[in-house]
Amino acid sequence: MFYTQLEAAKEGFVTDEMKIVAQKEGIPEERLRELVAAGQVVIPCNRNHICIDPEGIGKALRTKINVNLGTSRDVTDYDSEMEKVNWAIRLGAESIMDLSTHGDTRIFRRKLTGECKAMIGTVPVYDSVIHHKKDLAELTAEDFLDTIRLHAEDGVDFVTLHCGITRQTIDQIRKHKRRLNIVSRGGSLLFAWMSMTGQENPFYEYFDDILEICRLHDVTISLGDACRPGCLADATDVCQIEELVRLGELTKRAREKGVQVIVEGPGHVPLNQIQANMELEDSLCGSAPFYVLGPLVTDIAPGYDHITAAIGGAVAGMHGASFLCYVTPAEHLALPNAEDVKEGIMAFKIAAHAADIARGIRGARDRDDAMADARKVLDWEQQYACAIDPERARSIRDSRAPEKDHSETCSMCGKFCAVRSMNKALNSEYIDIL
Ligand code: SF4
């Protein structure tokens, strides 16, 4: 009996989920099976997430985007979190990560896996404190594993586990003296737990037990990068790369046990280091799908970090990242509201699309070519139809409409419209400007 997509693929079996993904991506089912068997594509779909519409993640496929949401101690409003979920689905996000750190997390998590067709991800280390109602230092290794089990039973499709941070990292961080230390929330919790208890990271020490839990429900492990750089100065440093080497080893162990794996990546990275980061991950982690947060290409734009991150996301995607975690304008400042969520999703849909074109994903440019054709003939309805956000495009044009005698143009150039002039010139028509 197959428990996971990876096990089925290795045995030469094409699952229903593989058939759906192959059809969506426009690639042969057998080719997709080979990619899943090699671990280069994952299909995160927990057996208990009945309503999921499966998606594949891997650089041979369209780039997918994830939307983070969830409650915090200061903002505990599940209705507003559900509003964000609905926006995310409507705008085409393929994945939602519930990062709730306050309130009744299980009810919300079960609502997500009970109603959402998108992939659902969580970070069980956050929930360990809440579920067991214990402070960090009182939690045991078994408590952490119990939380993973709980999330797996609740139908979560992928879990971020910071398995690569170990006691060795504690020495490394102290010795290396980073500019901004550890900025991963899960990573900092495990660092603190190890420091307080003197024990090894349970997600590393009991990795084989975790693999058994994940295998049973086909939960994909997203190997978290606890040492992802939180500023440009720390990018690609020894702490980040040392952890990445370990993530590569863990990827291999997971695949051998039939568990699907993606690897998480930075963070804050200067543009000129992004390609090297993607190639390192590809080489060290056996071409496992790479899931990046941004990366943000400058540290100085709070309020605009959906833009700094989308620039990095597009370049990362061009060089092989296949899963982009969105960033909103509220990054580094506050819990995002619904408007921030929308801005973040649109920025990352654009980044993912730009990456797909650059990677030569089949059919990725078709809509761009249709847009060019519509622009050539000044067909505004067709331009809206091709637009990534038709509503916004229409409302901007309508709010500043051109005068009636040149209504086919827009108010940017009016009768100086280059497209209009060229169409008329090539048709041997008179071009009136005044
Ligand atoms: S008026 Fe200018 S901006 Fe507008 S469609 Fe024509 S060339 Fe493009």
Among left, alpha and beta (phi > 0; psi -120 to 50; other), residue 414 is: left
pLDDT band at 103 (very low <50, low <70, confident <90, very high): confident
Atom of ligand 1 nearest to the CA of 411: 1
Domain count for the chain: 2
Same domain membership, residue 120 and residue 198: yes
| Ligand 1 center to 430 CA (angstroms) | 18
Same domain, 152 and 171: yes
Look at residue 302 and tell me if it is in a domain. Answer: yes
Q: Are residues 352 and 371 in the same domain?
A: no
409 Cβ closer than 6 Å to some ligand 1 atom:
yes
pTM for this one? 0.95
For the Cβ of 413 lying below 6 angstroms from any atom of ligand 1, the answer is yes
Predicted local confidence at residue 81, as pLDDT: 86
**249-274 as b/e: b if 16+ CB within 10 A:** ebbeebbebbbbbbbbbbbbbbeebb
CA of 209 to the centre of ligand 1 (A): 61
Per-residue pLDDT for 104 more than 90?
no
User: For residue 85, which amino acid is it?
Assistant: V
Structure tokens at 383: 């331009």
**Residue 432 counted as domain residue:** no
Same domain, 241 and 110: yes
Cα of 418 vs centre of ligand 1, distance in Å, is: 6
Amino acid identity of residue 430, one-letter, is: Y
pLDDT tens figures, 121-149: 999 999 999 999 999 999 999 999 999 99
Evaluate: CB of 82 within 6 angstroms of ligand 1. no
Q: How far apart, in whole angstroms, are the C-alpha atoms of residue 241 and residue 227?
A: 9
152 versus 73: which is more confidently predicted?
152
By the 8 A CB rule, do 22 and 32 touch?
yes
Same domain, 105 and 218: yes
Domain match, 393 and 369 both: yes
pLDDT of 404 over the 90 cut: no
Does residue 248 lie within any of the structural domains?
Answer: yes
Assigned domain for 266 exists = yes
Amino acid at 228: R
The answer to whether residue 117 is domain-embedded is yes
Residue ending a domain, choose from 359, 377, 410? 359
pLDDT of 118 over the 80 cut: yes
For residue 374 and ligand 1, the question of a CB distance below 6 A is answered with no
DSSP 8-state class, residue 201 = P
Kindly state the tokens that stand for 370.
């249709």
pLDDT reading at 246 higher than 80: yes
282 shares its domain with 183: yes
Please tell me whether residues 339 and 383 are part of one structural domain. no
On whether 33 is known to bind a ligand per the annotation, the reply is no
Residues 247 and 338 in one domain: yes
Tell me what the mean pLDDT of segment 63-67 comes to. Answer: 98
Q: What is the CATH number for 116?
A: 3.20.20.540
Same domain, 345 and 416: no
| CA 409 to mean position of chain CA atoms | 38
Q: How many A from CA of 281 to the centre of ligand 1?
A: 43
Instruction: Classify residue 78: in a domain, yes or no.
Output: yes
Whether 275 and 354 share a structural domain: yes
- Among the three residues 325, 359, 393, which one is the final residue of a domain in this structure? 359
Write down which residue in 308, 338, 359 finishes a domain.
359
- 230: helix, strand or coil: coil
Residue 9 lies in a domain: yes
Q: What percent of the chain is predicted at pLDDT more than 70?
A: 100
Provide the residue range defining the domain that includes 380: 365-427
126 is in an annotated binding site: yes
Which residue among 396, 409, 422, 431 has the greatest number of ligand 1 atoms within 8 angstroms of its CB, and so is best to mutate? 409
Q: Is the same domain home to 186 and 310?
A: yes
434 is a domain residue: no
